[in-house]
Amino acid sequence: MASTERVRTHTALHVVKGAARRILGTKWTASVYVEGLHGRLTVQCDRQPTETELLEIERLANEKIEANLEVQELEMAHAEAVGKWGDDIYDLFPIPAGITRLRILHIPDWNVNACKEPHTKRTGEILAIRLEKVRYRAGKQLLEIPFDVKSSD
């Protein structure tokens, strides 16, 4: 069973991804990392973001957390998910061809992703996030967005 901290941090990845997509136009996740209250989202990005853009990503993510939105975990046929959301459910790493049913994380009007990890029921359970120093790897066009989730203590 996943720890509460890990579940909160993993859900935060999806909230940060939604904010990055709105501010930077990023779509594809290259990798994710979660350790306790620390997470890192790595997305394909064609440029180094400005400090203003990074502040806006953090602001938007925290706005969605404060809105306490429903986090839906749906299970459906792979083909049905693609029919409903297209390639938005995918990341850069492929879903194996033999997988016919998917677990979908859906935060309405914010983020949708095929994801097998457990999530919080609402975004408010994350409490808040703070972005750390990002790293842009121009040669690979990858933006690493590390963040910390507020402790519940």
Residue recorded with tokens 């999806």: 14
**Rounded to whole angstroms, how far apart are CA atoms 5 and 103?**
21
| Model pTM score | 0.95
Nearby residues of 105 by Cβ (< 8 Å), 6 or more positions away: 14, 71, 72, 73, 111, 112, 113, 114, 115, 119
- For the chain, the structural domain boundaries read 4-149
Tokens matching residue 18? 């939604």
Q: Judge contact between 33 and 40, C-beta under 8 A.
A: yes
pLDDT at 96: 85
- Please give the full DSSP string across 72-99, using - where no structure is assigned: EEEEEEHHHHHHHHGGGG--SSPPPTT-
CB atoms within 10 A of CB 10: 21
Percent over 90 (pLDDT), the chain: 92
Confidence of residue 22 (pLDDT cuts 50, 70, 90): very high
Architecture of domain 4-149: 2-Layer Sandwich (3.30)
Average pLDDT, the chain: 95
pLDDT at 1: 53
